[in-house]
Amino acid sequence: MSDTLDLHSDPADLTAALVDVRSVSGEEAELADLVERSLAAHAPHLEIARSGNAVLARTNLGRGQRVVLAGHLDTVPINQNWPSRREGGVLHGCGTVDMKSGDAVMLTIAAQVTDPAYDLTFVFYDCEEVEADRNGLGRIEREMREWLDGDLAIVCEPSNGVVEAGCQGTMRVDVRATGKRAHTARAWMGDNAIHKMGEALRRLDAYEARVVEIDGCTYREGLQAVKVTGGVAGNVVPDEVVLSVNHRFAPDKSVEDAEAHLREVFDGYEVTVVDHAAGALPGLNAPAAQQLVRAAGGEPVAKLGWTDVARFAALGMPAVNFGPGDPVLCHTREEHVPVEQIGVCQGVLKRFLGRASLESRQ
């Protein structure tokens, strides 16, 4: 392998080169080293820093606004879909969608847009695909907070080349019912906890999720049972059952609002919050966000899942998702991305970030 990546190559070729460096979560060191060397060699106009297996780079041109572009270097475990291969106009392989095609676009922008309309920060980070407390953005926020400051954040996660605004919040709770053990031959002497969960399941079945429009984007909430655990043995009346429920909530709700809502839905049961993450409002009223939407064309849509745009929103800045690839293919063996779409996304960001584009808008 070459000591550096060619950051002036076709972004699809660069995507393939990135995919061919294994970087399952926790194993990003080789790819992070390669990205750092490549930026140092091909983007000398950038200040470069390192945080663990994350690589950061930025301009310091004194522009009036700063745009942060972020992409994670890690992938889910390989599933007989590595190395990359190209068939016609489609690139296949682990990470082609999530999200090395987005990383490739970011790297080409970093090297090629040397006179941008905004100051730019590029964040290539580690461990996005695993537990939240390992996410490289969290470490960067704790140790290098100023590197995440900006007026707009673009997370280049797959969005099919459409601006996906904000994201929904998520919360997982355990709903617990208890009873009393007894031999099933003398069941009347016990109290069956599993039977008690029937009412909670009926409430879920009848639940009508909210549909919320914010800044012209429609967010569809959800409340779903995802796991049931309980039972002792084939001849024992169970004394406990736990129903795990996932709630996806629109970004006009806080985490506290979501918890209060779930406690109301499951009134009468013991409810324990297992994990949660706040959503992010679309932020489309920000001038830079509006300019990105114009550059992309079409109408922005709501992000129905959760992404790291929420981390940037929590820092007080508008954030959107924009990148190549169909998010439905994330984490699947069939992961693939159209070569043309990678180029289109690169073109949109060049138009948006280029100084000539800004001058044409003034």
Q: Could you list the active site residues?
A: 74, 128
The three-state secondary structure class of 45 is: coil
The three-state secondary structure class of 316 is: coil
Tokens at residue 356, please? 């000539």
Tokens at residue 286, please? 């920000």
Largest CA distance in the chain: 83
- Backbone phi, then psi, for 314, in 5-degree steps? -65, -20
3-state SS string over 172-192?
EEEEEEECECEEHHHHHHCEC
Tokens at residue 172, please? 């997982």
Give the list of residues 6+ apart from residue 44 with CB closer than 8 angstroms, or none: none
Give the list of residues 6+ apart from residue 204 with CB closer than 8 angstroms, or none: 223, 224, 225, 245
CA dist., res. 293 & res. 164, Å (int): 10
Helix (H) or strand (E) holding 86: strand 85-87
Cβ atoms of 167 and 283 closer than 8 Å: no
CA dist., res. 144 & res. 132, Å (int): 18
Four-residue CA torsion sign, 41, 42, 44, 47:
negative
**How much of the chain is in helix, strand and coil states, percent to nearest 5?**
35, 30, 35
